[in-house]
Amino acid sequence: MTREQSAIIKGFAILFMLIYHLDNIVGIQGLDNVFAVDLITASHPIHYFLIVSGYGLYIAYLKGRLTWTYLFKRTLKLYLAFWLVLLILVFGVSSVMFPGLYSMPPEMVIMNLLGWRWDYSLFTWFLLPYIFMSLSSKWVFKIIDRLDNVLSLIISMILYFGTSFLISRYFDSWLQWHYLVYHIVLWAQTLFGLTIGAVLARRVTSGQQITLPWLQGKNLLLILLIVASFVFRGFIHSSILNPFHAALVVWLVLHLDFNAVFERVFVELGKKSMIMWFAQGFIDNIIFPEGSMILQWPALVYLVWVTACYVFSCLLMPIVDYISKQLRLS
Protein backbone atom coordinates (compact mmCIF):
# COMPACT_ATOMS: atom_id res chain seq x y z
CA MET A 1 0.00 0.00 0.00
CA THR A 2 1.64 3.23 -1.17
CA ARG A 3 1.20 6.63 0.45
CA GLU A 4 -1.08 7.60 -2.41
CA GLN A 5 -3.22 4.50 -1.93
CA SER A 6 -3.45 5.19 1.81
CA ALA A 7 -4.57 8.75 1.12
CA ILE A 8 -7.10 7.55 -1.47
CA ILE A 9 -8.62 5.13 1.04
CA LYS A 10 -8.84 7.90 3.65
CA GLY A 11 -10.45 10.08 0.97
CA PHE A 12 -13.11 7.43 0.43
CA ALA A 13 -13.49 7.03 4.19
CA ILE A 14 -14.15 10.71 4.89
CA LEU A 15 -16.86 10.74 2.22
CA PHE A 16 -18.36 7.63 3.83
CA MET A 17 -18.17 9.34 7.23
CA LEU A 18 -20.18 12.31 6.03
CA ILE A 19 -22.76 9.97 4.48
CA TYR A 20 -22.92 7.99 7.72
CA HIS A 21 -23.54 11.13 9.77
CA LEU A 22 -25.92 12.79 7.32
CA ASP A 23 -29.05 11.90 9.26
CA ASN A 24 -27.59 13.55 12.39
CA ILE A 25 -28.11 17.01 10.90
CA VAL A 26 -31.04 18.60 12.72
CA GLY A 27 -33.99 19.29 10.45
CA ILE A 28 -32.94 17.19 7.46
CA GLN A 29 -35.79 15.43 5.70
CA GLY A 30 -36.14 12.48 3.39
CA LEU A 31 -33.77 10.04 5.08
CA ASP A 32 -36.46 7.60 6.14
CA ASN A 33 -36.51 5.81 2.78
CA VAL A 34 -34.97 2.38 2.39
CA PHE A 35 -32.19 3.51 0.04
CA ALA A 36 -30.93 6.21 2.42
CA VAL A 37 -31.05 3.93 5.46
CA ASP A 38 -29.20 1.14 3.64
CA LEU A 39 -26.56 3.54 2.27
CA ILE A 40 -25.91 5.02 5.70
CA THR A 41 -25.69 1.53 7.22
CA ALA A 42 -23.12 0.46 4.63
CA SER A 43 -20.99 3.60 4.99
CA HIS A 44 -19.56 3.05 8.48
CA PRO A 45 -16.14 4.74 8.13
CA ILE A 46 -14.02 4.03 11.22
CA HIS A 47 -12.39 0.77 10.16
CA TYR A 48 -11.01 2.23 6.94
CA PHE A 49 -8.94 4.65 9.02
CA LEU A 50 -7.94 1.88 11.43
CA ILE A 51 -6.72 -0.42 8.66
CA VAL A 52 -4.71 2.32 6.95
CA SER A 53 -3.27 3.42 10.31
CA GLY A 54 -2.36 -0.17 11.20
CA TYR A 55 -0.55 -0.55 7.89
CA GLY A 56 1.37 2.72 8.21
CA LEU A 57 2.26 2.28 11.88
CA TYR A 58 3.53 -1.24 11.27
CA ILE A 59 5.83 0.01 8.49
CA ALA A 60 7.12 2.66 10.92
CA TYR A 61 7.59 -0.07 13.54
CA LEU A 62 9.68 -2.19 11.15
CA LYS A 63 11.86 0.82 10.38
CA GLY A 64 12.45 1.41 14.10
CA ARG A 65 10.67 4.75 14.06
CA LEU A 66 7.84 3.81 16.45
CA THR A 67 9.50 5.39 19.48
CA TRP A 68 7.83 7.24 22.33
CA THR A 69 9.04 10.50 20.78
CA TYR A 70 7.44 9.64 17.43
CA LEU A 71 4.15 8.57 19.03
CA PHE A 72 4.06 11.62 21.31
CA LYS A 73 4.60 13.99 18.38
CA ARG A 74 1.95 12.16 16.36
CA THR A 75 -0.52 12.48 19.24
CA LEU A 76 0.27 16.13 19.87
CA LYS A 77 -0.21 17.00 16.20
CA LEU A 78 -3.60 15.28 16.28
CA TYR A 79 -4.58 17.26 19.38
CA LEU A 80 -3.25 20.46 17.81
CA ALA A 81 -5.59 20.11 14.83
CA PHE A 82 -8.50 19.25 17.14
CA TRP A 83 -7.85 22.23 19.42
CA LEU A 84 -7.59 24.66 16.51
CA VAL A 85 -10.92 23.41 15.17
CA LEU A 86 -12.51 23.97 18.58
CA LEU A 87 -10.86 27.38 18.95
CA ILE A 88 -12.16 28.62 15.60
CA LEU A 89 -15.55 26.90 15.30
CA VAL A 90 -16.64 26.56 18.95
CA PHE A 91 -15.00 29.36 20.92
CA GLY A 92 -15.00 31.62 17.86
CA VAL A 93 -17.73 31.35 15.22
CA SER A 94 -20.33 29.44 17.24
CA SER A 95 -19.96 31.62 20.34
CA VAL A 96 -20.99 34.58 18.18
CA MET A 97 -23.72 32.86 16.15
CA PHE A 98 -25.13 30.72 18.99
CA PRO A 99 -24.30 32.35 22.35
CA GLY A 100 -24.33 29.84 25.19
CA LEU A 101 -24.73 26.79 22.93
CA TYR A 102 -21.41 25.24 23.96
CA SER A 103 -21.03 26.81 27.41
CA MET A 104 -20.06 24.39 30.18
CA PRO A 105 -18.03 24.32 33.43
CA PRO A 106 -14.20 24.51 33.11
CA GLU A 107 -13.67 20.87 34.08
CA MET A 108 -16.05 19.80 31.30
CA VAL A 109 -14.19 21.98 28.82
CA ILE A 110 -10.92 20.26 29.76
CA MET A 111 -12.44 16.80 29.39
CA ASN A 112 -13.76 17.75 25.94
CA LEU A 113 -10.39 19.17 24.91
CA LEU A 114 -8.78 15.85 25.84
CA GLY A 115 -11.45 13.82 24.07
CA TRP A 116 -12.49 12.21 27.35
CA ARG A 117 -16.01 13.46 26.68
CA TRP A 118 -17.62 14.60 23.43
CA ASP A 119 -20.30 17.08 24.50
CA TYR A 120 -19.18 19.54 21.81
CA SER A 121 -19.68 17.06 18.99
CA LEU A 122 -20.71 13.41 19.11
CA PHE A 123 -18.62 12.83 15.99
CA THR A 124 -15.39 13.21 18.01
CA TRP A 125 -16.07 10.22 20.29
CA PHE A 126 -13.40 8.29 18.39
CA LEU A 127 -10.52 10.68 19.16
CA LEU A 128 -9.25 9.24 22.45
CA PRO A 129 -9.63 5.53 21.52
CA TYR A 130 -7.71 6.28 18.32
CA ILE A 131 -4.94 7.95 20.33
CA PHE A 132 -4.81 5.00 22.76
CA MET A 133 -4.57 2.66 19.78
CA SER A 134 -1.70 4.65 18.32
CA LEU A 135 0.21 4.87 21.61
CA SER A 136 -0.15 1.13 22.25
CA SER A 137 0.59 0.05 18.67
CA LYS A 138 4.27 -0.80 19.23
CA TRP A 139 3.44 -3.35 21.91
CA VAL A 140 0.50 -4.72 19.93
CA PHE A 141 2.82 -5.26 16.95
CA LYS A 142 5.30 -7.13 19.14
CA ILE A 143 2.48 -9.49 20.14
CA ILE A 144 1.45 -9.88 16.49
CA ASP A 145 5.03 -10.76 15.55
CA ARG A 146 5.07 -13.43 18.24
CA LEU A 147 1.63 -14.88 17.49
CA ASP A 148 1.85 -14.51 13.69
CA ASN A 149 -0.92 -13.42 11.33
CA VAL A 150 -3.78 -15.90 11.68
CA LEU A 151 -3.78 -16.19 15.46
CA SER A 152 -3.45 -12.40 15.83
CA LEU A 153 -6.47 -11.87 13.59
CA ILE A 154 -8.52 -14.47 15.46
CA ILE A 155 -7.74 -13.01 18.90
CA SER A 156 -8.36 -9.41 17.82
CA MET A 157 -11.59 -10.50 16.11
CA ILE A 158 -12.79 -12.15 19.33
CA LEU A 159 -11.96 -8.93 21.18
CA TYR A 160 -13.99 -7.01 18.60
CA PHE A 161 -16.99 -9.33 18.98
CA GLY A 162 -16.79 -9.17 22.78
CA THR A 163 -16.51 -5.38 22.99
CA SER A 164 -19.26 -4.94 20.40
CA PHE A 165 -21.53 -7.09 22.56
CA LEU A 166 -20.71 -5.02 25.66
CA ILE A 167 -21.45 -1.75 23.87
CA SER A 168 -24.69 -3.01 22.31
CA ARG A 169 -26.00 -4.37 25.61
CA TYR A 170 -24.66 -2.01 28.26
CA PHE A 171 -23.90 1.37 26.66
CA ASP A 172 -27.20 3.04 27.60
CA SER A 173 -27.50 1.49 31.05
CA TRP A 174 -23.90 1.65 32.30
CA LEU A 175 -20.97 2.20 29.93
CA GLN A 176 -21.76 5.75 28.87
CA TRP A 177 -21.60 6.83 32.53
CA HIS A 178 -18.24 5.15 33.25
CA TYR A 179 -15.85 6.81 30.85
CA LEU A 180 -12.65 5.03 31.90
CA VAL A 181 -14.14 1.60 31.25
CA TYR A 182 -15.82 2.79 28.06
CA HIS A 183 -12.57 4.13 26.60
CA ILE A 184 -10.79 0.89 27.43
CA VAL A 185 -13.58 -1.05 25.69
CA LEU A 186 -13.38 1.23 22.65
CA TRP A 187 -9.59 0.89 22.54
CA ALA A 188 -9.89 -2.91 22.58
CA GLN A 189 -12.42 -2.66 19.77
CA THR A 190 -9.94 -0.72 17.58
CA LEU A 191 -7.39 -3.53 17.71
CA PHE A 192 -9.09 -5.62 15.05
CA GLY A 193 -8.76 -2.91 12.40
CA LEU A 194 -5.21 -2.17 13.56
CA THR A 195 -4.34 -5.86 13.28
CA ILE A 196 -5.83 -6.18 9.78
CA GLY A 197 -3.66 -3.29 8.62
CA ALA A 198 -0.58 -4.70 10.35
CA VAL A 199 -1.10 -8.16 8.83
CA LEU A 200 -1.36 -6.62 5.35
CA ALA A 201 1.90 -4.77 5.99
CA ARG A 202 3.57 -7.93 7.30
CA ARG A 203 2.64 -9.81 4.13
CA VAL A 204 3.91 -7.04 1.87
CA THR A 205 7.21 -6.62 3.72
CA SER A 206 7.78 -10.38 3.64
CA GLY A 207 7.43 -10.38 -0.14
CA GLN A 208 3.91 -11.84 -0.32
CA GLN A 209 1.15 -10.56 -2.58
CA ILE A 210 -1.94 -8.94 -1.06
CA THR A 211 -3.60 -8.37 -4.42
CA LEU A 212 -4.57 -10.74 -7.24
CA PRO A 213 -2.68 -10.09 -10.52
CA TRP A 214 -5.66 -11.13 -12.68
CA LEU A 215 -7.89 -8.58 -10.90
CA GLN A 216 -5.42 -5.70 -11.08
CA GLY A 217 -6.69 -2.76 -13.15
CA LYS A 218 -10.05 -4.31 -14.07
CA ASN A 219 -11.85 -1.19 -12.96
CA LEU A 220 -15.36 -2.00 -14.21
CA LEU A 221 -15.40 -5.38 -12.47
CA LEU A 222 -13.87 -3.88 -9.31
CA ILE A 223 -16.42 -1.08 -9.17
CA LEU A 224 -19.25 -3.58 -9.61
CA LEU A 225 -17.82 -5.68 -6.78
CA ILE A 226 -17.51 -2.63 -4.51
CA VAL A 227 -21.08 -1.54 -5.28
CA ALA A 228 -22.33 -5.10 -4.69
CA SER A 229 -20.54 -5.17 -1.33
CA PHE A 230 -22.31 -1.96 -0.30
CA VAL A 231 -25.68 -3.31 -1.40
CA PHE A 232 -25.11 -6.51 0.56
CA ARG A 233 -23.85 -4.61 3.61
CA GLY A 234 -26.77 -2.18 3.48
CA PHE A 235 -29.32 -4.98 3.65
CA ILE A 236 -27.78 -6.45 6.81
CA HIS A 237 -28.12 -3.89 9.59
CA SER A 238 -25.52 -5.30 11.96
CA SER A 239 -22.43 -3.34 13.02
CA ILE A 240 -20.55 -6.61 13.54
CA LEU A 241 -19.83 -6.63 9.79
CA ASN A 242 -18.15 -3.21 9.69
CA PRO A 243 -14.46 -4.27 9.83
CA PHE A 244 -14.99 -7.13 7.39
CA HIS A 245 -16.72 -4.89 4.86
CA ALA A 246 -14.05 -2.19 5.26
CA ALA A 247 -11.26 -4.75 4.76
CA LEU A 248 -12.96 -6.05 1.60
CA VAL A 249 -13.40 -2.54 0.16
CA VAL A 250 -9.80 -1.58 1.01
CA TRP A 251 -8.56 -4.76 -0.68
CA LEU A 252 -10.63 -4.07 -3.81
CA VAL A 253 -9.52 -0.42 -3.95
CA LEU A 254 -5.88 -1.56 -3.93
CA HIS A 255 -6.55 -3.21 -7.31
CA LEU A 256 -7.99 -0.07 -8.95
CA ASP A 257 -6.09 1.97 -11.52
CA PHE A 258 -7.08 5.60 -10.96
CA ASN A 259 -6.76 8.16 -13.68
CA ALA A 260 -4.87 11.31 -12.74
CA VAL A 261 -7.94 13.42 -11.96
CA PHE A 262 -9.65 10.91 -9.65
CA GLU A 263 -6.39 10.08 -7.92
CA ARG A 264 -5.68 13.74 -7.26
CA VAL A 265 -9.20 14.33 -5.89
CA PHE A 266 -9.15 11.39 -3.47
CA VAL A 267 -5.56 11.95 -2.36
CA GLU A 268 -6.46 15.56 -1.61
CA LEU A 269 -9.53 14.50 0.38
CA GLY A 270 -7.44 11.93 2.25
CA LYS A 271 -4.85 14.52 3.25
CA LYS A 272 -7.61 16.78 4.60
CA SER A 273 -9.66 13.98 6.19
CA MET A 274 -8.47 14.55 9.77
CA ILE A 275 -9.65 18.17 9.95
CA MET A 276 -12.82 17.35 7.99
CA TRP A 277 -13.56 14.68 10.62
CA PHE A 278 -13.09 17.14 13.50
CA ALA A 279 -14.98 20.01 11.85
CA GLN A 280 -18.04 18.27 10.41
CA GLY A 281 -20.23 18.42 13.52
CA PHE A 282 -19.73 22.16 14.00
CA ILE A 283 -19.95 23.15 10.35
CA ASP A 284 -23.36 21.51 9.97
CA ASN A 285 -24.72 23.75 12.75
CA ILE A 286 -23.24 26.84 11.13
CA ILE A 287 -24.30 26.32 7.49
CA PHE A 288 -27.66 24.56 7.96
CA PRO A 289 -29.88 26.79 10.13
CA GLU A 290 -33.16 25.33 11.26
CA GLY A 291 -35.86 25.88 8.67
CA SER A 292 -33.47 26.07 5.75
CA MET A 293 -35.11 24.88 2.51
CA ILE A 294 -31.94 23.05 1.49
CA LEU A 295 -32.60 20.52 4.26
CA GLN A 296 -35.34 19.04 2.10
CA TRP A 297 -32.68 17.84 -0.36
CA PRO A 298 -30.29 15.41 1.38
CA ALA A 299 -28.06 15.00 -1.69
CA LEU A 300 -27.58 18.76 -1.91
CA VAL A 301 -26.99 18.99 1.84
CA TYR A 302 -24.31 16.34 1.49
CA LEU A 303 -22.58 18.14 -1.37
CA VAL A 304 -22.61 21.48 0.47
CA TRP A 305 -21.41 19.80 3.70
CA VAL A 306 -18.49 18.04 1.99
CA THR A 307 -17.51 21.25 0.23
CA ALA A 308 -17.67 23.35 3.39
CA CYS A 309 -15.65 20.82 5.41
CA TYR A 310 -13.04 20.62 2.66
CA VAL A 311 -12.72 24.41 2.27
CA PHE A 312 -12.35 24.80 6.04
CA SER A 313 -9.66 22.12 6.10
CA CYS A 314 -7.79 23.90 3.27
CA LEU A 315 -7.77 27.08 5.35
CA LEU A 316 -6.74 25.38 8.58
CA MET A 317 -4.21 22.81 7.35
CA PRO A 318 -1.44 25.38 6.59
CA ILE A 319 -1.80 26.73 10.13
CA VAL A 320 -1.54 23.21 11.62
CA ASP A 321 1.50 22.47 9.46
CA TYR A 322 3.19 25.76 10.37
CA ILE A 323 2.68 25.33 14.12
CA SER A 324 3.75 21.68 13.87
CA LYS A 325 7.00 22.69 12.20
CA GLN A 326 7.64 25.38 14.80
CA LEU A 327 7.08 22.80 17.56
CA ARG A 328 9.12 20.21 15.60
CA LEU A 329 6.22 17.82 15.43
CA SER A 330 6.82 17.05 11.76
pTM: 0.90
DSSP sequence for 192-261: HHHHHHHHHHHHHHTT--SS-GGGTT-HHHHHHHHHHHHHHHHHS--GGGHHHHHHHHHHHHTT----HH
Residue pLDDT, tens place only, 83-139: 999 999 888 887 777 777 777 788 888 888 888 888 887 788 888 999 999 999 999
How far is it, in rounded angstroms, from Cα 143 to Cα 159? Answer: 14
Residue pLDDT, tens place only, 276-330: 999 988 888 888 876 666 777 778 888 989 999 999 999 999 999 999 888 887 7
HSE-up of 77 (CA within 13 Å, CB side)?
A: 22
The pLDDT of residue 51 is 94
How far is it, in rounded angstroms, from Cα 190 to Cα 160? Answer: 8
Q: How confident is the model at residue 33 (pLDDT cuts 50, 70, 90)?
A: low
Torsion of CA 214, 220, 225, 230, to 10 degrees: 150
Q: How confident is the model at residue 29 (pLDDT cuts 50, 70, 90)?
A: low
Q: How confident is the model at residue 34 (pLDDT cuts 50, 70, 90)?
A: low
The pLDDT of residue 32 is 62
The pLDDT of residue 269 is 93
Q: How confident is the model at residue 210 (pLDDT cuts 50, 70, 90)?
A: confident
Residue pLDDT, tens place only, 42-84: 778 889 999 999 999 999 999 988 889 999 999 999 999 999 9
Using DSSP's 3-state secondary structure scheme, residue 104 falls into coil
Run of H or E including 272: helix 260-287
For the chain, the domains span 3-326
Computed over every residue of the chain, the mean pLDDT equals 86
The pLDDT of residue 35 is 56
How far is it, in rounded angstroms, from Cα 267 to Cα 288? Answer: 27
Percent of the chain exceeding pLDDT 70 equals 95
**Which residues fall within 8 angstroms of residue 306, CB to CB, at 6 or more apart?**
15, 18
Average pLDDT over residues 266-274: 92
The pLDDT of residue 30 is 56
Q: How confident is the model at residue 144 (pLDDT cuts 50, 70, 90)?
A: very high
Percent of the chain exceeding pLDDT 90 equals 39
